[in-house]
A and B are shown apart, each in its own frame.
Chain A
Amino acid sequence: MRKLILAAALAAAAGPAGAADLTVKLTNLTQGIYFTPFLVAAHGGSTDLFEPGQAASQSLKQVAECGDLSGVEADLTAAGADLAKDPAGGTLAPGASATATITSGSGNDRLSLVAMMLPTNDGFVGLDSQAVPASKGTYTYYLNGWDAGSEANNELLATGGCSVGVAGIPADPGGAAGSGGSGVTTAENNTMIHIHRGNLGDTNASGGPSDLDSTLHRWQNPVLRVDVTVQ
């Protein structure tokens, strides 16, 4: 009898996978890394934006290499997800916060988000299908910097546009990068989604292997704090 009561209480706490109002606060924990506009999504259990150890989808490569959300937005829309796009109104600077609001539909009980890390070649931050707690409250998650595995980390600023598969960093929003680097590498050892090894950088603004600044553009994990409030 006691077991039955406990089971009933648990079922009530878990609730049906119904609608929920969520706020998702994003805080940049780095000293010198910017995030491109975020896509935040509530979706069902059969949708997956990325899987560590597996190859990145073309849509994810667009995010990680160029900060382009169009592919993942189309994928998630087709899967019936509820979306909040670009809550920061542009890039999210070091130390800055932004808050997204989502009303998740029935069955959309997983939360994912993605954004590119700048300046990197194909670094991104991501939340991977986190189950949304059914009980009201605020839940905090710390996220790592991932490497899409799709582009060699040459650490050279690109001149001109950004194309998937073409090595080069599309932009440095902080304006602290140098130029004239010879390139850190031409190879990508692990071509699957893996933890980013960080920028190497150097202290030569007009040469050296990297266009990045080793005193500013490095990081340790975690790189983003996410506070999810279930209303």
Chain B
Amino acid sequence: MGIRTRILGIAGLAALTALAAAGCGQNRGASSVRYQVTVANLTNAQPLTPPAAVLHRSGYQGWTEGETATTGLEELAEGGATAAFLAEARGNDAVVEAEAADTGVAPGTAVTLTLEGERRPGLRLTVASMLAATNDGFTGAAGWDLASLAVSGSRTALVKAWDAGTEANSETAATVPALGGTGFDAGRTSAVDRVTVHPGVVTAADGLTASGLAEAHRFIGPVARITVTRVR
């Protein structure tokens, strides 16, 4: 049974490869692409959780401003966990590859990860990473157009902070992962329930006495710099 499955698998892969080759008239090696994505943390004291990056076509969107966050984005924005966000992406036919960095990005540092896959028309890039000293703040890139990027070309932009709108911005230590609190909790909700531009943190220094955050955690956008370079 196991052997038969494997044989079918190889046969299926061969058929797909043949279709792909027929479709673009090139062999598979020549039609693959590779991108390096670098996320630099430009905040004073907001750790960024390991960035998740998705190479995709127009049928996938990590989030849409004004609309409810997916569960995957909620888990990422509240606790920094990337598994559900990546699983949602990988389950979408429009996604070529989805990966997360091994480490988070401390203020003043940068992290680079690599995405590679088959070259397809209309490729885009989505990146997401939590601002760990918030309730449900995140930053990233929302569907950057990569189609015009030639090999060794790059694109850089300063990016803002969004609020997933899935958790009230109480700023209590028990709810903020960077303060040792519980990140994702499906039981916690927000009346907002849509992705917005993040309003920033108030902090105890500015009168929110229940806040576990200090003045150093305050931020004004942009909060990160993302660079994508096509290396193949």
Across the interface, do B216 and A185 meet the contact criterion of CB distance under 8 Å? Answer: yes
Interface size on B, residues (CB 8 A): 22
24 sample A-B contacts, Cβ–Cβ < 8 Å, listed by A number = A52-B40, A52-B42, A53-B41, A185-B216, A189-B44, A190-B43, A190-B44, A190-B45, A191-B108, A194-B43, A194-B107, A194-B108, A195-B219, A195-B221, A195-B222, A196-B220, A197-B220, A198-B218, A200-B205, A200-B206, A209-B205, A214-B206, A219-B220, A220-B220
Cβ < 8 Å to B, chain A residues 196-218: 196-198, 200, 209, 214
Across the interface, do B108 and A149 meet the contact criterion of CB distance under 8 Å? Answer: yes
Scan B198-222; emit 1 where CB is below 8 A from any A CB, else 0. Answer: 0000000110000000011011111
Residues of B within 8 A of A185 (CB): 215-216
- Whether B20 is near chain A, meaning CB under 8 Å from some CB there, is no
Give which listed residue, B42, B215, B218, B221, contacts A53 with CB less than 8 A. Answer: B42
Task: Using CB atoms, name the residue of chain B closest to A149.
Answer: B108
Known A144-B158, A195-B43; judge A190-B108 contact (CB<8 A): yes
List B residues at the A interface (Cβ < 8 Å). Answer: 40-45, 107-110, 158, 205-206, 215-216, 218-223, 225
Residues of A within 8 A of B40 (CB): 52-53
With A195-B43, A195-B221, A221-B221 given, name 14 new contacts (CB 8 A). Answer: A52-B40, A53-B225, A189-B44, A189-B107, A191-B108, A192-B108, A194-B42, A194-B107, A194-B108, A195-B219, A197-B216, A197-B220, A198-B220, A200-B218
Across the interface, do B45 and A53 meet the contact criterion of CB distance under 8 Å? Answer: no
Scan A48-79; emit 1 where CB is below 8 A from any B CB, else 0. Answer: 00001100000000000000000000000000
User: In whole angstroms, what is the CA distance A185 to B217 when docked?
Assistant: 12
- Whether A109 is near chain B, meaning CB under 8 Å from some CB there, is no
Across the interface, do A197 and B43 meet the contact criterion of CB distance under 8 Å? Answer: yes
- Whether A151 is near chain B, meaning CB under 8 Å from some CB there, is no
Across the interface, do A200 and B215 meet the contact criterion of CB distance under 8 Å? Answer: yes
- SS class, residues of chain A in contact with chain B: loop
Known A197-B44, A219-B220; judge A52-B206 contact (CB<8 A): no
Give which listed residue, A52, A145, A209, contacts B220 with CB less than 8 A. Answer: A145
User: In whole angstroms, what is the CA distance A197 to B206 when docked?
Assistant: 13
Residues of B within 8 A of A190 (CB): 41, 43-45, 107-108
Residues of B within 8 A of A192 (CB): 107-108
- Whether A187 is near chain B, meaning CB under 8 Å from some CB there, is yes
Shortest Cβ distance from residue B90 to the other chain A in the assembled complex, whole angstroms: 31
Residues of A within 8 A of B107 (CB): 189-190, 192, 194
Known A149-B108, A189-B44, A190-B45; judge A195-B215 contact (CB<8 A): no
User: In whole angstroms, what is the CA distance A191 to B206 when docked?
Assistant: 23
